[in-house]
A and B are shown apart, each in its own frame.
Chain A
């Protein structure tokens, strides 16, 4: 019988953390922030079909970085949990905190029990009546949860991006300003020799939770509406008004790094 090598629990956890962190750092980043009209999600994403940002419930959105099949799996579970609770109780009884807890328990269990942890970092955002009541939860691969103060960055070089975000972001910004701050923060890393770079509109995935709207508040901002926001900051929310997902194709492709 082959002799098993002994590995201490600390070593195992360290190895798993390292694997998850490396996986997350390889991918492109995403930022989530509060603005006057709601919560803004901006992710760098080359694909227009495999989303990093998604709707979970009326006032709850989801953003993730890392391995697509893994966070998509969690997003689906979140939608199922939210719809089940909303049907059993009432739509108002579905909260971002409960979802963040469920995701945290799931990620924590996978981290300790499975040989490979999920290489993902997740944001669960709930839009409130005012920007001060917005809730942003950061969930990491090991199941830890953080309540973020109105803005957060995830993915490779998240700390540098968060630094730029912190110095430029205010919760009373307009949508146009918020998008520009987010894109500037995402572009502040990854250029030649550490220089800033510009990110084209077709490489961005932008969505909002619209504070003023009743019912489902999640809207994607795409095409002309997004270009207009990036160019001059005019809030063109009207043309972003199509119901969630109506113009998108089904994301049925295989999971991959994104």
Chain B
């Protein structure tokens, strides 16, 4: 990377050219080895090389959107990590989480966050929510080769659309497949190994026009249902005090619930399930 600088210490022409506002497009010229999709992989399956991140749920509320993820990463039948974080703020008004090959996923999301920030700084204006989703789709598509060798990463993107005319529709969710996407989802969505169970739970419980607080509770319930039936998804770990990561994006920006808040919600969900295991 440092090789991109010439011996005089002067910024190379690539940096000063009018060029592009996209950081990944710049990176593809300045330091292509830093792009996840640009590394040649030796042939063969690589599924077992990296832990697998599991379930994320997204729920649209009346005045925003909620994204929550469990904390487990698995390698085969083993738990690789109990307190992994898979949900991040992508920028001031959007959230992103991922399931799949953890190493590549974390790198991809890190790059995506820099991509959004870079555009904003260069252009002096934020990308539209659809623009952000399309950028993420392109980055997922760039990883297709690795995905075909077992290192698939599937993100989920949710954000508050500042350009929305109807405030009730400002919270939007986008899902992706390994070839890109994006697909806009209505109401709720989930990705990862436990997503089947989380979505089944949300199908019965989701209503339009939820408050953000209700959506948060619903997300933690859905993650509990996923953990209930999927061994790769971790439920609230009361003994180690490890709880889901829950974030919201509203007109005020993104917000991560404090550990005390998620502990209270997880505690009440677990208490409810002690009464009635089916919720």
Chain A positions within 8 Å of B, measured between CB atoms, are 49, 51, 54-56, 73-74, 76-77, 79-81, 83-84, 86-88, 101-103, 105-106, 108-109, 216, 243-246, 248-252
Contact = CB atoms under 8 A, between A and B. Distances in A.
A243 B92 CA distance: 7
B107 to A, nearest CB: 10
A77 B15 contact: yes
A248 B123 CA distance: 9
A245 B120 contact: yes
Interface residues of B, number: 34
The 7 A-B residue pairs with the shortest CB-CB distance, nearest first, are A243-B92, A105-B9, A77-B15, A105-B10, A109-B10, A250-B123, A77-B16
A106 B16 contact: yes
B253 interface: yes
Contact of A81 (B11, B92, B125): B11
B125 A250 contact: yes
A175 B195 CA distance: 49
Contact of A80 (B15, B93, B120): B15
A84 B121 contact: no
A80 B26 contact: yes
Interface of B: 1, 4-5, 8-11, 15-16, 18-19, 23, 26-27, 30-31, 34, 91-93, 110-111, 114, 117-118, 120-126, 162, 253
A203 B236 CA distance: 55
Question: What DSSP secondary structure best describes chain A's contact surface?
Answer: helix
B122 A109 contact: no
Given A56-B121, A79-B122, A246 B162 contact: yes
Contacts of A216: 117
B4 to A, nearest CB: 8
5 contacts: A79-B121, A87-B114, A106-B11, A109-B10, A251-B123
Given A74-B16, A102-B9, A245-B124, 18 more contacts: A51-B124, A55-B121, A79-B118, A79-B121, A81-B11, A83-B117, A84-B1, A84-B30, A103-B11, A105-B10, A109-B8, A216-B117, A243-B91, A245-B120, A245-B126, A246-B120, A249-B125, A250-B123
Contacts of A243: 91-93, 126, 253
Given A86-B114, A105-B8, A81 B15 contact: yes
A246 B31 CA distance: 29
B23 A248 contact: no
A56 B18 CA distance: 17
B90 to A, nearest CB: 12
A198 B258 CA distance: 47
